[in-house]
A and B are shown apart, each in its own frame.
Chain A
Amino acid sequence: MADIKEISKAVRLVSVPTDRFKTSKISICFALPLKEETVASNALLPYLLHHSCAKYPSMELINNHLAMLYGASIGASVLKAGESQIMRLSISAIDDRFSLDNESISAKCAQLLCDLIFEPNFENGTFSNADIEQEKRLMIERIDSEMDDKRAYALRKCEELMCADEPYGLSKYGTKEQVKKLTADDVFKAWQRMLKTAKIQINVIGNADLKKIEESFADNLKKIGREEPAVLSTKFIGKADKIKEKTEQMEIKQGKLVMGLRVDIKDAMEKYAELSVMNDVFGGGPYSRLFANVREKMSLCYYCSSRLVRQKGVIFIQSGIETENKEKAVKAILEQFEIMKKGEFSKEDFEASKKAIVDALNSYGDMPEDIDVWYTGQIIYDEIFSTKKAVEMINKVTVDEVTKAAQLVTLDTIFMLEGTGDSEEGE
């Protein structure tokens, strides 16, 4: 359903033209290798850029302009895709046909996005110290607030422990110490590096004026002068040498268990369908082994689920439990995984899983955000993979293939965030 066009070297335009939505959405992603030396300066960029530009030199002016564009909203984020770091900016606004004065909202949105990215609010040819200091403060607060979400924090700690010697173990934002050290010059260099060498993908979803958008971006990229694009790669580690285990204590009520597993594959698309179904039968929906047993039968938790990160060939199992139930939960989870490896899951669960995955894939086209996410995740690959193709592959999977896929998986790391927060209550 998407049209794909290479508009410049390593710059791809993915468009999904449709008038079924009330909005147009444009997003632009920059992919660079995830590296210790550059992770923090890169991560600052989308947030910094979306707060001001030469034309609208303050956040207030940008917000006023957005309100004039009928409440258009801009977003900035940083993601990890395998061992690549993705810097993302997006804008979403009502479709041109709802404009009260016949102006083209989408063209103005595309223009604003270009202004933000290519014409920043410079002072003497670089970012101002005041702007950089503000973004550093906000980034440190963002990193801090990750700790406030205990589930996210425990997952982060498990990733860090499991992939200590791989770029994947890095935080997508960098560390607080790295952020504190950043200078305007570091960020300026990161900006140039991103525009000149990142792999770029622009997604346009809706009724937007595609030709204008393409022209705006192509012109600006020409001015920048693109260089040889950065090489993006991810290291796949088939199996752990030994199982790592770590616990940490925090004054919280509920403990958080995270288990990291390795999948013996060489790239993200290897055994795509088999692994997707395997992971879903094991820890996906309410029919999954983990939900049906660890939650429903054993009443150990409210959530227990498994997430496959195929761009890195790893699986994370997460559950919120009473700290004293850790051994019981780990044992139960591993027992359920043995069932997967032996192919002793039910045919019904297997069929249910395939149906649920296919149903969800077929619903993706109904939400501009879902479409955007689907294509954004593929920025690091040369070939674009459609949901239609994914459905075909899922439908063909057999029980035997799922069992074999489970046999590719081994335990690597167990991380437990122990709760010590009960004493205070005196209950």
Chain B
Amino acid sequence: MEIKKIENEALKEAYYSVKHPSGLQIYVMPKENYSSAFAVFGTNYGSIDTGFKRSDENDFATIPEGTAHFLEHKLFESEELDAFERYAKTGASANAYTSFDQTCYLFSCSANFKENLEILIDFVQHPYFTQETVEKEQGIIGQEIRMYQDVPNWQVMFNLLRAMYSNHPVRIDIAGTIESIAEINADMLYRCYNTFYNLNNMALAVAGNVTVDEVIEVADRMLKKAENVTIERIDHKEPKEVAMDYIEEKLAVATPQFMLGFKETNKEPVVSLKQRLETAVMLDIIAGRTSALYNDMFKKGLINSEFGTEYFNGNGYAAILFSGETNHYKEVAELIKKEIKKFKAEGIKEEEFELVRRKTYGRSIMAFNDVDTLANSLVASHFLKSGLFDDIEILGRMTVEDVNNRLKNTLDENYSSLSVILPQDK
């Protein structure tokens, strides 16, 4: 077993990276004087993994939309006590979530840590699905899907993804549709489980009131060596162009909501941390709270504090998003595009860059308060092949030239789409 301690002198923080013989990558971040601990057990499997090929099979398999999320719900069940019933005896607060590229199971507790970790590792490794329990879940998830259909900022985003992407499954809803989940059966769940819940495709992270020895002791007891199966994912052959440059939907909202997306085509399917950070800094300079764009639009009454930006990216997709709520969405979209052109022509200035870098430095430090953020970040950065302290180091080395170069290669309005949610009476 290989145990590495990874430290950051300035932050006075450290975590342990453990390559467990079972194949599982484990991270432990003890936090001094904390009472609680937070654990996340995640697999690199999310809503976009609708097609895959195992290294021990010849053909690609396709599965219904929403299967990863469905599996997340069902994994809590067991032939005996389900996971919630087991946690009920320890007092931990447990939950799970499915994103585009991950499924994570988590708990937080301030007592009985080892017992809780045992429950987590155990139930995630012991699937139990029957046709009856699958059918029961279709009603519950059906209501979850229906709930999101009424949430305007969720709809504005998924409509935008459908407008930007023609083939890549990032365009489908994480929970799937009422129709697609009706196709799911117990066999299908077992097949996906056996492929993606291989310990080599997973990571476990714990932060807070814990020691590395406690975690290893439980892991040694609970984990068996997994066979080394690798997973090949379908190349969706997503074109560079957007599918539609405009999409709208009418919902019961008071004010229209918009999301403007700029689709990117990158050489590598997963963008580097360096690129992600440069993009974040660039967006903050162009449209953040200190930018002329934000403050001018705010003063003119075109936007409110809901306005924001995001670099949205994962395996095989990347896009820059601007969003907000406003009656003047067309004008706002034009002003954003105009400002991008201006920045591209004039370049970002040294002082603009330094101010935002200073802010970003502070915000990266703040992230080290919360054990839940830390444990989740450890798992997420593992799947992205970066470390927890890399942000601060990359930020320290970043120059205004890096950000200007980044600006040259992105935010091309020929590859943009606008998604709008309008009130029903308009």
Contacts and interface: CB of A to CB of B under 8 A. Distances in A.
Interface string B131-164: 0000011111101101101111000000000000
B335 interface: no
B110 interface: yes
A355 interface: yes
B35 interface: yes
B370 interface: yes
Contacts of A303: 147
Interface in B178-210: 208
Interface string A135-166: 00110011011011110000000000000000
A140 B16 CA distance: 50
B88 interface: yes
Contact of A285 (B93, B301, B358, B371): B93
A252 B111 contact: no
A302 B34 contact: no
A233 to B, nearest CB: 34
A363 B88 contact: no
Nearest to A359: B91
B289 interface: yes
Interface stretch (A32-40, A208-216, A364-372): A364-372
Contacts of B33: 18, 20
A356 to B, nearest CB: 5
A299 B290 contact: no
B88 A67 contact: no
A393 interface: no
Interface string A282-322: 00011100000001100111110000000000000000111
A192 interface: no
Given A68-B358, A144-B255, A250-B252, A362 B35 contact: yes
A40 to B, nearest CB: 18
A300 B139 contact: yes
Interface string B99-135: 0000000001111000000000000000000000000
Interface in B61-109: 84-85, 87-94, 108-109
B362 interface: yes
Interface residues of B, number: 69
Nearest to B13: A22
A60 B141 CA distance: 44
A70 B358 contact: yes
A413 interface: no
Interface string B280-314: 00000000011010010011010011100000000
A154 to B, nearest CB: 11
Contacts of B84: 285-287
B359 A67 contact: yes
A63 B290 contact: yes
B35 A254 contact: no
Contact of B254 (A94, A148, A349, A367): A148
A287 B89 CA distance: 10
Contacts, number: 184
Contacts of A149: 151
A421 interface: yes
A67 B359 CA distance: 5
A141 B369 contact: no
Contacts of B139: 299-300
Nearest to A150: B150
Q: Is the interface of B mostly helix, strand, loop or mixed?
A: mixed
A420 to B, nearest CB: 10
B361 A71 contact: yes
Given A23-B366, A94-B366, A302-B144, A253 B359 contact: no
Contact of A20 (B31, B89, B299): B31
A367 B108 CA distance: 13
A400 interface: no
A148 B252 CA distance: 7
Contacts of A301: 140, 143
Contacts of B366: 22-23, 71, 92, 94
A98 B36 contact: no
A64 B355 contact: yes
Interface in B318-351: 325
Contact of B289 (A63, A98, A360, A419): A63
A295 B295 contact: no
A134 interface: yes
Contacts of A322: 143, 146
Contacts of A72: 362
Nearest to B253: A148
B365 A22 contact: yes
A48 to B, nearest CB: 13
Interface in B362-384: 362-363, 365-366, 368-371
B295 A359 contact: no
A217 B111 CA distance: 39
A147 B369 contact: no
B424 interface: yes
A358 interface: yes
Contacts of A351: 89
A71 B358 contact: yes
Nearest to A424: B250
Interface in A257-292: 285-287
B375 to A, nearest CB: 12
Contacts of A71: 358-363, 366
Given A147-B254, A150-B252, A366 B371 contact: yes
A339 interface: no
A251 interface: yes
Given A70-B358, A71-B363, A365 B140 contact: no
B1 interface: no
B298 A59 contact: yes
Interface string A388-400: 0000000000000
B152 A321 contact: no
Given A363-B36, A365-B35, A349 B304 contact: no
A21 interface: yes
A366 B208 contact: yes
A94 B366 CA distance: 6
Most chain A C-beta atoms within 10 Å of own C-beta, residue among B136, B138, B254: B254
Nearest to B301: A137
A352 interface: yes
A93 interface: yes
Contacts of B358: 67-68, 70-71
A44 B238 CA distance: 48
Interface in A51-83: 58-60, 63-64, 66-72
Contacts of B371: 366
A302 B369 contact: no
A132 to B, nearest CB: 13
B88 A362 contact: no
B252 A251 contact: yes
Interface of B: 10-11, 31-36, 84-85, 87-94, 108-111, 136-141, 143-144, 146-147, 149-152, 208, 251-255, 257, 289-290, 292, 295, 298-299, 301, 304-306, 325, 355-356, 358-363, 365-366, 368-371, 424
21 contacts: A20-B31, A22-B368, A69-B362, A70-B365, A72-B362, A98-B10, A138-B304, A141-B325, A142-B304, A144-B255, A148-B252, A253-B147, A253-B149, A286-B88, A296-B136, A302-B147, A320-B143, A320-B146, A359-B91, A359-B93, A362-B36
Closest 3 CB pairs of A and B: A70-B362, A299-B139, A355-B91
Given A98-B362, A285-B93, 14 more contacts: A23-B366, A59-B295, A60-B295, A66-B289, A71-B363, A93-B362, A254-B149, A285-B84, A286-B87, A299-B137, A299-B140, A302-B144, A352-B91, A362-B111
